């Protein structure tokens, strides 16, 4: 099954390494370097098997290619996945990160990485010990610009504004019911921005500490996970893991638009048709969740200030999403297909 996954994939390179000291698998998938060196986060989590980890890496790497291709930024798409055993200890984990960094360094700039699920900026400091200069988003104490999460949240927030403008002819979020799934660095940041803009924010979460904080301390309405899809709202913002939009869940949705930061939100690509058939506007995830990667690369390689990075992210997401919505309406296609066409057009052009 592993070889068939790789044979069917249209990317450029897949590196798979078994880490004998921990039993972990390190996968680096480079989907495209047409627009520039491959950039993508490192994700660390436990998987059911190597096949599941590889599938995740390949899909995420492809998503990164299209993420940068829609606005034609000078980067390609890649992703690293470290599939760890569930009982890994902290010392073994740190050494594993150093070996991951050494592999990245060995690739000589083919792939540059930052944090993703299960990886923090402090972890990037460890990876950079052996992976420098191809490791980004380290802590400020280590010379980096910290977590990309707030910038990703800003891009998603901008996407919500554009969606509201499309739906209601008004980008204002005041009084809009917005349900955020997941309260991590992206979801939590999005909640803060939405609240400041006057939205009526609801949230869904499985982590008990996060539930207590946002429900009891912040005072937000908590939605049980089993009621996630049937809860009425203007905007549903999935900001946890992907694959949550399927034929079954889409049929339950009680929202006007889906605008969230999670990668690969559709279980299968044709689910975009199901969403359109229900008249629910969709902001393609890779169009609006570009902010973290874009801002960190801009600040760490192009000299952007933090304020400039925020301005660039907001403008990039707004312009790209408006273009996607306009093309979808003009051609009578899904917004997912519109984003794909724009990306493919940019990828077909000479550098």
Q: State both tokens at 15.
A: 């590196």
Confidence of residue 241 (pLDDT cuts 50, 70, 90): confident
Residues classed as catalytic:
79
CATH of domain 2-62+75-142: 3.40.50.10860
Q: State both tokens at 68.
A: 């940068």
**Residue 1: what pLDDT?**
83
> For residue 288, with 0-12 CB atoms within 10 Å meaning exposed, 13-18 middle and 19 or more buried, which class applies?
buried
**Residue 350: what pLDDT?**
72
> How long is the chain?
351
Q: How many whole angstroms separate alpha carbon 62 and alpha carbon 68?
A: 10
Confidence of residue 338 (pLDDT cuts 50, 70, 90): very high
Confidence of residue 349 (pLDDT cuts 50, 70, 90): confident
Q: Give percent of the chain with pLDDT exceeding 90.
A: 98
How big is the CA angle at 77 (ends 186 and 334), to the nearest 5 degrees? 70
Q: How many whole angstroms separate alpha carbon 114 and alpha carbon 94?
A: 16
Q: How many whole angstroms separate alpha carbon 255 and alpha carbon 193?
A: 20
Q: Kindly list the domain boundaries of the chain, sorted by start residue.
A: 2-62+75-142, 149-289+319-345
**Residue 180: what pLDDT?**
98
Average pLDDT of the segment spanning 229-246: 96
70 pLDDT above the threshold of 70:
yes
Please say whether the beta carbons of 58 and 263 come within 8 A: no
Per-residue pLDDT of 99-152, as tens digits, reads 999 999 999 999 999 999 999 999 999 999 999 999 999 999 999 999 999 999
Quote the DSSP letter at residue 227: G
Q: How many whole angstroms separate alpha carbon 254 and alpha carbon 228?
A: 10
Average pLDDT of the segment spanning 48-56: 97
Query: Strand runs (DSSP E) across 33-162, as ranges?
Result: 38-45, 76-83, 111-115
Choose among 6, 5, 65, 57: nearest CA to 32: 65
Task: Please give the helix or strand (H or E) that residue 203 lies within, else none.
Answer: strand 200-204
Average pLDDT of the segment spanning 283-292: 97
Q: Inter-axis angle of helices 335-348 and 306-331, to 10 degrees?
A: 110
Q: What is the average pLDDT score of the chain?
A: 97
Confidence of residue 351 (pLDDT cuts 50, 70, 90): low
Check if 2-62+75-142 and 149-289+319-345 are the same fold.
yes
Per-residue pLDDT of 175-198, as tens digits, reads 999 999 999 999 999 999 999 999
CATH of domain 149-289+319-345: 3.40.50.720
Choose among 182, 175, 166, 204: nearest CA to 117: 182
Q: Give percent of the chain with pLDDT exceeding 70.
A: 100
Residue 203 β-bridge partners? 180, 222
Average pLDDT of the segment spanning 271-282: 97
Please say whether the beta carbons of 247 and 278 come within 8 A: no
Please say whether the beta carbons of 269 and 213 come within 8 A: no
Choose among 247, 315, 321: nearest CA to 281: 321
Please say whether the beta carbons of 137 and 114 come within 8 A: yes
60 pLDDT above the threshold of 70:
yes
Please say whether the beta carbons of 157 and 194 come within 8 A: yes
SS3 content of the chain, % helix, strand, coil (to 5): 50, 15, 35
**Residue 242: what pLDDT?**
87
């Amino acid at each position: 099954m592993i070889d068939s996954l790789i044979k069917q994939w249209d990317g450029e390179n897949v590196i798979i390494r078994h880490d004998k000291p921990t039993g972990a698998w390190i996968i680096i998938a480079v989907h495209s370097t047409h627009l520039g060196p491959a950039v993508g986060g490192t994700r660390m989590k436990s998987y059911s098997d190597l096949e599941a980890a590889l599938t995740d890496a390949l899909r995420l790497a492809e998503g990164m290619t299209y993420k940068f291709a829609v606005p034609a930024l000078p980067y390609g798409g890649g992703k690293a996945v470290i599939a760890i055993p569930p009982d890994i200890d902290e010392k073994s984990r740190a050494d594993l990160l150093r070996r991951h960094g050494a592999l990245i360094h060995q690739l000589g700039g083919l792939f540059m990485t930052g944090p993703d699920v299960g990886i923090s900026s402090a972890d990037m400091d460890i990876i950079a010990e052996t992976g420098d200069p191809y490791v980004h988003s380290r802590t400020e104490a280590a010379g980096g610009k910290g977590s990309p999460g707030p910038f990703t949240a800003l891009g998603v927030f901008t996407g919500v504004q554009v969606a509201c403008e499309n739906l209601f002819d008004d980008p204002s979020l005041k009084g809009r019911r917005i349900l955020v799934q997941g309260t991590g660095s992206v979801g939590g940041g999005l909640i803060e921005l939405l609240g400041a803009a006057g939205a009526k924010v609801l949230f869904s979460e499985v982590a008990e500490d996060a539930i207590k904080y946002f429900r009891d301390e912040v005072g937000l309405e908590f939605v049980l996970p089993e009621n996630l899809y049937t809860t009425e709202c203007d905007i549903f913002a999935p900001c946890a893991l992907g694959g949550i939009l399927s034929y079954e869940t889409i049929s339950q949705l009680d929202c006007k638009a889906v605008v969230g930061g999670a990668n690969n939100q559709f279980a299968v690509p044709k689910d975009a048709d199901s969403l359109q058939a229900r008249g629910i506007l969709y902001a393609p995830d890779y169009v609006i969740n570009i902010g973290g990667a874009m801002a960190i690369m801009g600040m760490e390689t192009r000299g952007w200030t933090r304020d400039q990075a925020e301005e660039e992210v907001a403008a990039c997401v707004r312009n790209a999403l408006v273009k996607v919505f306009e093309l979808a309406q003009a051609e009578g296609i899904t917004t997912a297909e519109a984003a794909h066409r724009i990306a493919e057009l940019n990828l077909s052009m000479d550098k």
